[in-house]
Amino acid sequence: MKNVDDLIESAAELAARGLSKGEIADELNVSRETASWLVERSSTPAQSTEQASSPPASGGTGPQDIHVDWSAIGRDSKRMNAIASAMADMLAKHGEDIDLTIGIEKAGGPIATLVARELETDLGTYTPAKHQWEEGDIEELGGTFSRNFAGIRDRECYIVDDTITSGTTMRETIEAIRAEGGKPLACVVLADKQGLEELDGVPVYSLLQVISVGKDE
């Protein structure tokens, strides 16, 4: 994707397929607020890139976000393997006794599968609450662990995802693992938009930290 118009078009296509705004945020690697803004813009008449990039008329300032497109990695299995190997290497310092890797669905699942293979661990997956989110308080919703994969069973584990945007999904996953009696030892992502070193006492590693440098007006 090259510009905001492309993102608006993609948001419209995903919304037409019945995806929730939370799922659209996940697919486009943007915040839920940005996903809502893109969907709202896609329902208005065609407009120029300059207009599309401007703040919504009724919403004050527009979303402050960064879109991360890692499809050049995701479309190629060899590249995915190489990236997963690098991510696994960042986690390996925590010891050899860890036997569970949790992937955050959707994009984190395939990456976690390859990381788990590198680390020779079991694989679990977690579907966050944002996949059900449309509007309102996301805390009223709940995420789930898939029964098709390994369970927590009071084990130590790693957490894998593609992108940290606000940190909400990663924090939710940490809390969900702890609620099941597990102990998350570290998180790893491809790109971190927040520059986090830890979340709720759990170290966060990233291959890329994406920092927005700008001047507040």
CATH number, domain with residue 189? 3.40.50.2020
Describe the strand order of the beta sheet including 183-192 as a list of residue ranges: 144-145, 122-127, 100-104, 156-164, 183-192, 202-209, 198-199
Residues for the chain: how many in total? 217
Task: State the CB neighbour count (10 A cutoff) for residue 144.
Answer: 14
Residues 104 and 48 in one domain: no
> What pLDDT does residue 133 have?
54
Residues 127 and 21 in one domain: no
> What pLDDT does residue 50 have?
43
Report the range of poorest mean pLDDT among 32-36, 89-93, 109-113, 202-206: 32-36
- 48-56 contacts: CB < 8 A, separation 24 or more? 49/3, 49/4, 49/5, 52/4, 52/5, 52/8, 53/4
Residues 124 and 19 in one domain: no
> What pLDDT does residue 217 have?
47
Q: Position 145: which residue type?
A: F
* 148, 174 contact by CB (below 8 A): no
Banded pLDDT at 141 (limits 50, 70, 90): low
DSSP at 18: T
> What pLDDT does residue 122 have?
98
pLDDT tens, 11-56?
Answer: 888 888 888 877 888 788 787 788 888 888 877 554 444 444 444 4
Q: Check: pTM over 0.85? Answer yes or no.
A: no
pLDDT at 107 over 60: yes
Taking the C-alpha atoms of residue 199 and residue 177, their distance in angstroms, rounded to an integer, is: 13
Q: Which domain holds residue 139?
A: 71-209
In the chain, the number of structural domains is 2
Residues 37 and 75 in one domain: no
pLDDT tens, 155-195?
Answer: 999 999 999 988 989 999 999 999 999 999 999 999 999 99
